[in-house]
Amino acid sequence: MEQPTKSVIDKINTLYIQTRSKYLVQFPEGKYITLTYSADNKVTKFNDSMLSTHLQGGLTYGTFSGGYFSKFMTFDVDCENESMSRWITLRLVYVLVEEFELNRSDIHVNMSGGKGYHVDLFFSEQVKVEELRKFYQSVLISVGELSEGQIEFRPSWTQGVKLPLGIHQRTGNRCWFVDNETLEPIESYEYILGIEPMPSEAITDSNIDLTEEQKAEFERVASSTDISVNAIDLSGALQNAAMIIETGRLTASGTRHKTTYTLACFGNSQGWEREEAVDVIMDVLQNTPREYFSEGSTPEYWLKETNRLVDYVYDNDKTIMGTDRDLTIYKSEILAVLNAGTFRQKQLAYAMLVTSKRFGNIFYLTIRTAMKMIGTNSRQTVQNAIKQLIDNGFIKYHRKSEIDKARSREVGHIYYKPSKFRLAFEEPDEGEESVTVSKDKDMIEVALMLCDEQEIRKYVKRREFDNRWRDHVS
């Protein structure tokens, strides 16, 4: 067998070693201890001599992140069932390639020495550990629930990871790198010399954020291998969703998976039905130039993944943080609402006003969503209300009655893309009277905060006032 060279030691230093003051040591019985150097103890800093011992099988060492930053991340596949361990690892690599569009050549798998595997990603610059953990959490969602075993995040400042190419001290197995398609061992130290770090932008633009409580909940659930926990919300996703909806297509290449997940959460936040969310997402994807997708990516695959992610989001009630934030309503806006027509039409106008403030100037609205907004089971009521709001100049169609050719071919009849709208009345004047309202405030409450009874009566017929408004007027 070939012997490790100085170049191999140098490469491990470059790829893995971030701190020399803290490291793991595995002893023959398989147990690990953590050693931490300080000026007043006898612990030796981690050095090249230890790396040489590691490669020769004398002792086995592991490393930690730098604390705040790391230049690599590891998905630690841990499963007692060897066949399941292989399946989880291959599934993980598949997800990284097909759904997160990483180059297969940037994914490096090595054996743990037991029945598991380590899947390593290396970066050309230091990345916040927090960012890496967010990416890990996002990937686990796509991998799906595991019937056994788990995928753990490594390294952090408190949880280290065993370095590759050494010996597992309990089993005696060499921790070779393996082919990431077949998991066949590559019994050569030289493999590591060909590893080139990838740009961190490949994984850090995930726009996923967690509250401290959600982080704690994710850790609790991940430790028990249930990764379907309702632990992911999106921060900044409202702006992303609004931009995507306005442009009508992906806004950057390599973002299909992220956009699908974002819009699914967006749709659930806005009250779309599942099929409505699928329609909107597929509309965006089909309007996107093909060069924005990875080679071989097909509409059939997009639809399959869209259905899967939408089901995940709706089954676990994922929403977008910020959709229930307080809003500012101006007096001219509420007067435009009051001028909309019947009470149902006023209700829909107010719902559209709130929707535009939450989700962007251009917004989707399906008949079924509008029916839920105003509490009616009549499609005709909504269709009449939309027509009236357009005639009154409250809204305009941004897109109407556009045939979805791809879906029409799929279902065998004419299928229309979801309609898009924008508000059509003038924006409020600077310094205009306004109120800040919560999601719990309805149209009547907000109108009474900005208008007196005399003003409201100008826009409301007597019967409507008596039936709908009188009890609320002091």
- Contact between residue 244 and residue 259 where contact means Cβ atoms under 8 Å apart: yes
Could you give the C-alpha distances from 261 to 91, 134, 275, 278, 284, in angstroms and in order?
Answer: 19, 14, 14, 11, 13
Number of H helices, E strands in the chain: 18, 17
CA–CA separation, 259 and 237 (whole Å):
9
CA–CA separation, 165 and 120 (whole Å):
13
Which position has the token pair 């004398």?
58
Rounded to 5 degrees, what are φ and ψ at 329? -115, 130
SS3 content of the chain, % helix, strand, coil (to 5): 45, 15, 40
The helix/strand/coil state of 471 is helix
CATH 1.10.3720.10 fits 327-472, yes or no: no
Contacts of 374-379 with C-beta under 8 Å, sequence gap 24+, read 374/344, 374/347, 374/348, 375/347, 376/344
Q: Return the HEC string of 79-110.
A: CCCHHHHHHHHHHHHHHHHHCCCCCHHHCEEE
pTM score, whole prediction: 0.48
Q: What is the dihedral of CA 458, 459, 462, 468, to 10 degrees?
A: -130
Give the β-pairing of 22-26 and 32-36: antiparallel
Could you read off the pLDDT tens digit of each residue along the chain, which spans 474 residues? 567 788 999 999 999 998 888 899 988 777 889 998 877 788 888 999 999 999 998 899 999 987 778 899 999 999 888 999 999 999 999 999 988 889 999 999 999 988 899 999 999 888 888 889 888 988 888 888 888 889 999 998 888 999 999 999 989 999 999 999 999 999 999 899 999 999 887 777 543 344 455 444 444 433 333 222 222 333 455 566 767 877 788 877 777 887 888 888 888 877 788 888 898 899 889 888 888 887 778 888 899 889 988 988 888 777 766 556 678 999 999 999 999 988 989 999 998 898 888 767 777 777 877 888 788 888 888 889 999 999 989 999 887 877 777 667 766 778 777 788 889 988 888 889 999 988 778 899 999 999 999 999 998 888 888 888 888 876
Task: Return the number of other C-beta atoms located less than 10 Å from residue 256's C-beta.
Answer: 25
From the list 371, 364, 368, the residue with the least C-alpha distance to 402 is 364
CA–CA separation, 140 and 151 (whole Å):
8
CA–CA separation, 186 and 179 (whole Å):
7
CA–CA separation, 349 and 442 (whole Å):
12
CA–CA separation, 400 and 62 (whole Å):
60
The domain segmentation of the chain, as residue ranges, is 6-204, 232-315, 327-472
Q: How far is CA 292 from the centre of its chain?
A: 19
- Contact between residue 383 and residue 367 where contact means Cβ atoms under 8 Å apart: yes
Both tokens of residue 342? 């019947």
Length of the chain: 474
CA–CA separation, 188 and 110 (whole Å):
12
The helix/strand/coil state of 461 is coil
* Strand partners for 63: 23, 161
Domain 6-204's class?
Answer: alpha beta
CA–CA separation, 424 and 430 (whole Å):
18
* Strand partners for 329: 435
Both tokens of residue 107? 């994914």
Those residues whose C-beta lies under 8 Å from the C-beta of residue 230, and which sit 6 or more positions away, are 316, 317, 318
